[in-house]
Amino acid sequence: MSLVFAGVCSHAPGITGRDERAPTDLRDGLYAAFGDMQQRLHAARPDALIVVAAEHFANFFMDNMPAYAMGMAETYCGPIEDLDWLRISRRVVRGAPDLSRRLVTEILETVDIAYAEEWRFDHGIMVPLHFLDPDNALRIIPANINCQGPPLTPLSRAWAFGEALRRAADAVPERIALVCTGGISHWPATPDSGRINEVWDREFLARWTRNDRAGLLGYTDAETYAEAGQGGFEIRTFIAAAAAARGTGTVHYYQPIPIFAVGCTVATMEIV
Amino acid sequence: MSLYQLSKLLYQLNRDDSLQARFKVDPAGATEGYDLTAEERRAVLDSDIGLLYVLGVNGQILMHFAALCGVEWSDYLQRMRDGVKRHGPVRAGIYTMTTSPDEKVVE
């Protein structure tokens, strides 16, 4: 059928794992925005949800690191993290292996994506699913862009990956939803955790909502590292979403929440 | 310097239940098979979060090892600051500190 939903959101583990330590109004506003996104997502009646994440060494390591990967399993399990630390219950998630295989086959026409028939979800996928699919009702297809272990894929290739995702979604009869998840500026898991460059974030989101391809691809990794931290490398997932959706975006929520270690973001993009 | 081996050990500890169980009863034995320097091995066996941070372990691996060791979040952040104070700046990797060891971004 085609792509029927496109959005982006944050996935920081503090959003669930340290929820009581955030200012109540900010936390409740973020949770409400996630709830609104959940309704929009389910209203699109997707047959499967592709979650493009930037995982954190749950499956992929520097012994064999793919720039791009997609799951092709019957089921997935997550979270991999300590349950008390993340405060999300472990669940078995239904995949869509046949659909995955057709998507991967089409994507391979332009992007050399790896596939994986085993995949354990970390907070990068579980935090979004906790809010967007609380009843564990959807079929999920995980995808990953290596944003952790340099050398990293160029931003232009993240755009090409988004284009390939769109082409693949349009080529199958199923209704496909896409959620791409990452942080904008942040310095996660370092002593600087909580540092957020709001000006940088808002400029990035302005480019994203305009679907300004040149602007989005105009960052260098050196600039991003200096201005937005190592967490800023995850803009690759947002860039892929823009390339896939092709429309303009709407930011439903953006607030820096230091104890969550990121400018918390919930946004959707028109599909054209 | 065998940061790759050190990182791999912690990566596998984070995700492998059987290795975690072994680490709890026989920590030294669990680190066998990884080509570590004496300093790296000591940092793991002492759960020295600050030294592991300075040695360059990626924070996305280190924070889970800290959770495995029962280190609470604010304590985890403080141990990294203390590590930099004691051992000097982060020696490798992309998770260097941009603030001073006495500065707290969040409590």
B82-98 pLDDT per residue, tens: 999 999 999 998 888 88
Contact criterion met (CB < 8 Å) for A195 and B99: yes
Cα radius of gyration rounded to whole Å, chain B: 13
Look at residue A165 and tell me whether its pLDDT is greater than 90.
yes
Distance from CA of B11 to the nearest CA of A (A): 7
Closest CA to B95 of B68, B75, B69, B76: B76
pLDDT tens digit sequence for A178-219: 999 999 999 999 999 999 999 999 999 999 999 999 999 999
Distance between CA atoms of A128 and A126, rounded to whole angstroms?
Answer: 5
Specify the pLDDT at position B1: 55
Q: What is the pLDDT of residues A8-42, one digit of tens each?
A: 999 999 999 999 999 999 999 999 999 999 999 99
- Reported ipTM: the value is 0.90
Q: A82 vs B99: CB contact, 8 Å cut-off? A: no
Residue A251 predicted with pLDDT over 60: yes
Contact B53, B62 (CB under 8 A): yes
**DSSP string for A152-205:** PPPHHHHHHHHHHHHHHHHTSSSEEEEEEE--SS--TTSTTTT---HHHHHHHH
Ramachandran quadrant class, A37 (left: phi over 0; alpha: psi -120 to 50; beta: rest): alpha
Q: Do B7 and A62 touch (CB under 8 A)?
A: yes
CATH architecture of structural domain A2-271: 3-Layer(aba) Sandwich (3.40)
Q: What is the DSSP secondary structure assignment for residue A231, as one 8-state letter? A: G
- Residues of chain A with a CB closer than 8 angstroms to some CB in chain B: 14, 17-18, 56-58, 61-63, 80-82, 85, 120, 148-150, 187-195, 225, 229-230, 258-259, 261
Q: What is the pLDDT of residues A130-153, one digit of tens each?
A: 999 999 999 999 999 999 999 999
**Where along chain A do its domains lie?**
2-271
What percent of chain A has pLDDT above 90? Answer: 98
Residue A194 to residue B106, Cβ atoms within 8 A: yes
**Domain ranges for chain B:** 3-87
A82 has a pLDDT exceeding 90: no
Closest to A197 measured CA to CA, from A181, A209, A186, A182:
A186
CATH hierarchy code of domain B3-87? 1.10.700.10
Residue B107 predicted with pLDDT over 80: no
Q: Which residue, among B62, B95, B107, would best test binding to A if mutated, counting the most A CBs under 10 Å from its CB?
A: B95
Give pLDDT, residue B106: 78
